[in-house]
Amino acid sequence: MASDAAEGASFIHNFGDGHDPTRWYKANMTYPSPHPAWLARHIHFFDDRVELELRRMRVGAKKLAGAEYQRRGLYSFGRVEVVMTPAPGSGTVSALFTHTSEQFGAQHDEIDIEFLGKDLNMVTANYFTDGEPYRYLEIPLPFDASKEVHLYAFDWEPDRIRWYVDGELMHTATHDDHPIPQHPSRIIIQLWSGQEEQFQWHGLPTFEDGTRAAYYCISYLKAGDTGPQCSDTFDPVAANAGRAAN
C-alpha cells in the first residue's frame, strides 16, 4: 500500500492522533447554499474518534452551524469504509460521501452514505453522475444506528456501486441503472441540517442543540491495492457489548 500522504493513495485513519492538516481539512466557512455554516471548532478529537457537532447559532446569514471534515486529495475507484454512530434528532444529517464538482475541474459526481436523525433504523444511499441523481435508497437496519457502532461501506467500481452494512451486501447499482461516477473525488464527513426546502426530507430541526455524530475509523482501499481497512479489526458484536457494559 502506498504512503497515505500521496494523493489518491489507500489509507486508514482512526483519529486518535488528532488533526493532521497535511491529510485533512477542517471546513470553516459560510456561503450561499442550503447548508449551515461550517465551523472548525465543531470538530472534536478524542483518543478513539472524531465527533462533529451541530448547533443553533447565527453565523452571518446562517441560523445553524455544523461541521465538515475533508480528506485532502482526490480518490477514485476502490472501497470506502466508515465505523460511526450518527447524530440523533429530527433535522440532522450525518454523512460520509465522495464528492467532486466544477471547483475541482469536473461535473458534480457524488456517492453517499447518509443518516437522517428522524429515523435511525435506516441508512440512506444515493449517487450523482454529472449532477444527475440515481435514486434515493432507504436501507432498513435492525438497530438504532445512533446507539450502536457499526461499519458502513461501499465498493466503487467503473460499472457498479455496492453498499454494505457490517460486511453484508445491501444494494447494488450498475451502469445499466444509471451511469456510474468516473471522476476522482474528495472523501468527506459532515453533520448538518438544512433550510425549509429540506424539512420534508430530513424532518423539522427539533434536534437537541449540540448533538454530535462520532466517526471511529475511515479507510479507503484503492482498486487493485492490498492493505489495512477498518473492517480488519472491527467486530460489531464486541464493540457494542463494550458500549452496553459502559
For the annotated catalytic residues, the residue numbers are 110, 114
- Residue-by-residue DSSP string for 93-157: EEEEEEEE-GGGTS--EEEEEEEETT-TTEEEEEEEETTEE---EEEE-SS-TTTS-EEEEEEEE
Q: What is the dihedral of CA 14, 245, 190, 150, to 10 degrees?
A: 80
Would you state the cell numbers that stand for residue 46, as one nine-digit string?
478524542
Q: Are 142 and 165 in contact (CB under 8 A)?
A: no
**Rounded to an integer, what distance in angstroms lies between the CA atom of residue 194 and that of residue 56?**
12
**3 state DSSP class of 159:** coil
- Sequence-distant (≥ 6) Cβ neighbours of residue 178 within 8 angstroms: 127, 129, 132, 134, 135
